[in-house]
Amino acid sequence: MNDVDHPIDLRSDTVTRPTDAMRAAMAHAEVGDDVFGDDPTVNALQERVADLLGFPAALFVSSGTQSNLCALLAHCGRGDEYVAGADAHIFTHEGGGASVLGGIQPQPLPHRADGTLDPADVEAAVKPDDPHFARTRLLCLENTLGGAVIAPEDLAAATAPARKHGLATHLDGARLFNAAVAGGGDPYAAARRITEHFDSVSVCFSKGLGAPVGSVLLGSREFVGEARRWRKVLGGGLRQAGVLAAAASYALDHHVERLAEDHANAALFAGALDGVPGLETGAARTNMVFARPVPGVAPRDLVERLAARGVLCTGGRPRLRFVFHLGVSRADTERAARVVREVLTEGVA
């Protein structure tokens, strides 16, 4: 097999493709018109995820970005403000959608070294009721954050000042199940210990869970009703969406526990790169490994040289990121580690 035509793709867990069995589940899905609310497969998925994660209602949406944006628009109005970590996807990677479409401004906060927010910073970020200030309405946290698991105690600590001041709380749980699986035990019980701190939660099915499309947004009935309005406004009212919901449902049946394999592969990869000259590789964080080239080794050159040898990753900020997922076997992991080691040992131009 040609390594470059069949690369090991570690750029993201979004590159996962539906398996044959998932495609079969999609092909046989019973469908209706979800804008009329009568797609049985969508309805079943929404009810199932709401039950599993302890919420009254859920909404199937096109993407994680659309899910977060529906949440922001449902929680906040024009002139309102949301508080989030400065590295949070909702602030850094969603095109400023809250500002563009909602007239909602972000209030970013610094992260501590472990990715958590300091509750004192959250407290200080809540503005007094004064016409000089935007109205602080919402706290958004993320778990996992850059692959790092944020412990339930830290979620409780950061959300406490928000509750005290009457803010709503939203969790961007794009990789909620990675966080839930990381501690071992029942993943759904672990997921609920995370989600119980929030009024709304977004979960992606198109990342490590391996579905081609889709996220689910959870919250109260009233909140989900409001989010449903915004989903339509955003052009996200899909019709026979059951073919997509079937993939997400299949992922819940078959791809949750196996996330532990991705975490094991990430740990194996990080261990194999330990001590490679030219690269400072951190410990695996759930399904991700970050490596920082030493001064003199240009990240972009490294990304290109690895790609030329059939290993794809992202890089240049200035860390390289390698993400493990269901399209990457243990043998692929070993091969990828070997390639990285060889490329760095050969030196980088």
Ligand X SMILES: *Cc1c(COP(=O)(O)O)cnc(C)c1O
Q: Which of residues 127-146 bind ligand X (CB under 6 A)?
A: 142
Which of 22, 174, 211, 323 is close enough to bind ligand X by CB under 6 A?
A: 174
- Pick the closer one to ligand X by CB: 169 or 215: 215
- Pick the closer one to ligand X by CB: 26 or 171: 171
Lookup: tokens for 71: 């949440």
Residue 309 CB coordination number (10 Å)? 18
301 CB-contact burial (10 Å; exposed 0-12 / middle 13-18 / buried 19+): middle
Stretch that binds ligand X, among 27-35, 63-71, 120-128, 267-275 (CB under 6 A): 63-71
- Rg (the chain; Cα; Å): 21
Which of 42, 49, 52, 64 is close enough to bind ligand X by CB under 6 A?
A: 64
- Pick the closer one to ligand X by CB: 174 or 227: 174
Q: How many residues does the chain have?
A: 349
**Residue for token pair 């092909």:** 27
Which of 206, 265, 286, 287 is close enough to bind ligand X by CB under 6 A?
A: 206
Q: Which residue is closest to ligand X by CB?
A: 64
Residue 248 CB coordination number (10 Å)? 32
63 contacts ligand X (rule: CB under 6 A): yes
CB of 334 to ligand X, least distance (A): 26
Which of 41, 65, 195, 286 is close enough to bind ligand X by CB under 6 A?
A: 65
Residue 222 CB coordination number (10 Å)? 11
230 CB-contact burial (10 Å; exposed 0-12 / middle 13-18 / buried 19+): buried
Which of 162, 176, 182, 204 is close enough to bind ligand X by CB under 6 A?
A: 204
Which of 34, 81, 172, 199 is close enough to bind ligand X by CB under 6 A?
A: 172
111 contacts ligand X (rule: CB under 6 A): no
Residue 81's H or E segment, with its range, is strand 80-85
- Pick the closer one to ligand X by CB: 126 or 323: 323
Phi and psi at residue 20, to the nearest 5°: -60, -40
Phi and psi at residue 276, to the nearest 5°: -65, 130
Q: Where along the sequence are the contacts to ligand X (CB under 6 A)?
A: 63-65, 68, 89, 142, 172, 174, 204, 206, 215
